């Protein structure tokens, strides 16, 4: 898939997550496009730093603390993007988990034959 197609699919996934997880609200498709763009930047820049800083806790929890990190990043995104609201931290964790599962499903469904 091209970068533009991935961006659009990611924005659609944010809208799906908002419909699936109670407590998450996305105002419009434009907001979802902004969320998709910022989510990719945050996961490329902040997530690796947080994973390294929390490595001991991640090892002790067998990697389950990564769910908390994803939930924190999802919650952080709600604080900086107008039109994206999350009611609680639990909803943020569930939303991040749902988004990760959707990303995995879409990646498996549309992977190139070159991979």
Tens-level pLDDT at each residue, the chain (115 residues): 688 988 999 999 999 999 999 999 999 999 999 999 999 999 999 999 999 999 999 999 999 999 999 999 999 999 999 999 999 999 999 999 999 999 999 888 887 645 5
- Report pLDDT for 71: 93
What pLDDT does residue 110 have? 80
Q: What is the pTM of this model?
A: 0.87
- Reported for 25-31, long-range contacts at CB under 8 A and 24+ positions apart, including other chains, are 25/84, 25/85, 25/86, 26/83, 26/84, 27/82, 27/83, 27/84, 28/83, 31/81, 31/82, 31/83, 31/84
């Amino acid at each position: 898939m091209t970068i533009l197609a991935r961006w659009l699919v990611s924005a659609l996934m944010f809208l799906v997550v908002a419909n699936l997880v109670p407590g998450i609200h996305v105002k419009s498709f434009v907001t979802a496009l902004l969320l998709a763009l910022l989510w990719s930047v945050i996961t490329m820049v902040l997530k690796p730093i947080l994973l390294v800083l929390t490595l001991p806790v991640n090892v002790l929890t067998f990697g389950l603390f990564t769910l908390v990190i994803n939930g924190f990043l999802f919650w952080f995104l709600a604080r900086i993007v107008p039109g994206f609201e999350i009611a609680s931290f639990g909803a943020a964790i569930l939303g991040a988990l749902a988004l990760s599962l959707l990303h995995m499903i879409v990646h498996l469904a549309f992977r190139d034959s070159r991979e």
